[in-house]
A and B are shown apart, each in its own frame.
Chain A
């Protein structure tokens, strides 16, 4: 591995299925302890990448290391070390929640298995229903059980493929809170999702890709790169001459007037805002409040994917 701080290192990883190139020379590193978002349209190769990194399928070319183990050469070690929540996680419906977890726990050779099963069933609110067949569970309960299954052996690296897909808002919120808690425990999490709001809230960094890498950075850094930073001044009345006044400042990149708001593009609002506020007040503006325009991650994503 090239870097001890990286939980996952991917170098020129490529996967093709006959003539279809699913992943094209992907090179990224995932830092230990971060939540790393993999974003991309359907068929972009997200699930294929996760499958390669969890040693379920082999790469066509390129190399990757997960928790220090090389994909393709140390697959058994990788499978023992990582946890995976698949896109459509199946359960043994005839068996109870407790029996399902026990089976997978035994497969992972979990020490003190009954205590681990109890811990995760309690943590995810399924303890009271532990003896009921999973076939009777709601989708949200099944998803929580699948998350428990992925965590049972305390994996250092966790792959979550669409963890809140199809869940009601309450269940989705619970799962998101749980993922945030996992970060606090220092686990490395690779989150594959179409829910951009979820990625924005949870991920430390995101990679947008469509077979190959389109962009990689923190959500805010990507916003700034693509859209710059914008500050909104809410005024009692947005007189036209105020916009002209703002434009006179050399550091101002753009100015828009929308209703009673002045939207100003700045590269360093922290130092430039006080100057603008003072100037606007002296020019007779009545400022109600000032805030930064937060560009939606959706806009960032659409710009990258459709570029």
Chain B
């Protein structure tokens, strides 16, 4: 555990020397905090009877069950900002993929991997350290942006019920549990790819391909094909725990010190 933390601190000291990296880590979460607030502000005066909402607006009838306790305006606001729940879950996965995909192949290209592997660090410690170093800042930045969003929603919501919905178990499970699990999933794949390719650019591009299917999830939500309800979020959490565990074990098995040191040019 100690070596993992030593590696994490080194990674941060190295990466965050670059101010541009700090900016890119903070920008996306902040954008997703501000955008839903702008939408809330813009829809603040929308007034409608809750019973007419499904027929007079784009709010799908299936969503109405999530609007229990809200008036028409509140339901409209909640419907619009709920589109961002998936984005808040995806951001911690999108941000660290670039860092994670550079993690092993980057050490190799700067010729620091061999001295690092010569130390008594175990493969699992190395991969965990690399993965956590990429995941933690992105998760913390996302949580901070969600906090900003929640404070903004408290000010802009047409009714306290909207804020209550945003801070309910569904959202909190999505942001606090599923988001980090998604981040670990993406980062593990990126670290795994990073240990299998010999060019940092290839690692970044291949890793990005694995993130693309989640964009499809966002599109499906926007088109009303899926709704993020409590049941779906819980299933996502369970499946991701299993996937993350399996994927990390697989990544550890796939990490071949000898191949990396002798076959990469």
Contacts and interface: CB of A to CB of B under 8 A. Distances in A.
Interface string A84-123: 1010111111110001000110111000000000000000
A200 B220 CA distance: 72
B184 to A, nearest CB: 24
- Residues of B in contact with A, size category: 20 to 34
A56 B119 contact: no
Contacts of B110: 90-93
Given A99-B13, A107-B119, A56 B257 contact: yes
Interface in A13-35: 17
B261 A107 contact: no
A57 B121 contact: no
Chain B binding surface SS class: helix
Contact of B115 (A55, A90, A93): A90
A115 B197 CA distance: 39
Interface string B1-32: 00100110010011001100000000000000
A252 B10 CA distance: 67
Given A84-B115, A88-B111, A89-B115, A51 B261 contact: yes
Contact of B118 (A56, A58, A91): A56
A57 B18 contact: no
Contacts of B257: 56-57
Nearest to A107: B119
Given A17-B262, A57-B257, A84 B118 contact: yes
A146 B111 CA distance: 12
A99 B13 CA distance: 9
Given A57-B261, A76-B120, A108-B120, A94 B17 contact: yes
B112 A108 contact: no
A94 B18 contact: yes
A144 to B, nearest CB: 15
Nearest to B113: A90
A63 interface: no
B111 A79 contact: no
A90 B111 contact: yes
B115 A86 contact: yes
B14 A104 contact: no
Nearest to B256: A57
Contacts of B117: 56
Given A92-B10, A95-B14, A149 B115 contact: yes
B258 interface: yes
A285 to B, nearest CB: 60
Contacts of A58: 258
Interface string A256-275: 00000000000000000000
A80 B261 contact: no
A79 B112 contact: no
Contacts of A94: 13-14, 17-18
Given A86-B111, A99-B13, A107-B3, A54 B120 contact: no
Contacts of A93: 110
Contacts of A76: 120, 122
B190 to A, nearest CB: 20
B58 interface: no
A51 B261 CA distance: 9
A57 B101 CA distance: 24
A146 B14 CA distance: 18
B180 to A, nearest CB: 26
Contact of A56 (B10, B114, B122): B114
Given A51-B261, A107-B3, A107-B6, A95 B119 contact: no
A99 B257 CA distance: 25
A91 B262 CA distance: 19
Contacts of A88: 111
Nearest to B119: A107
A93 B10 CA distance: 12
A25 B118 CA distance: 24
Contacts of B115: 84, 86, 89-90, 104, 146, 149
A113 B3 CA distance: 15
Interface of B: 3, 6-7, 10, 13-14, 17-18, 107, 110-122, 257-258, 261-262
Interface of A: 17, 48, 51, 54-58, 76, 79-80, 82, 84, 86, 88-95, 99, 103-104, 106-108, 146, 149
13 contacts: A55-B118, A56-B257, A57-B261, A76-B120, A90-B111, A91-B110, A92-B110, A95-B14, A104-B115, A107-B3, A107-B6, A107-B116, A108-B120
Given A90-B110, A103-B6, 17 more contacts: A51-B261, A51-B262, A54-B118, A56-B118, A57-B257, A79-B118, A79-B119, A79-B120, A80-B120, A84-B115, A86-B114, A86-B115, A90-B115, A94-B18, A107-B119, A146-B115, A149-B115
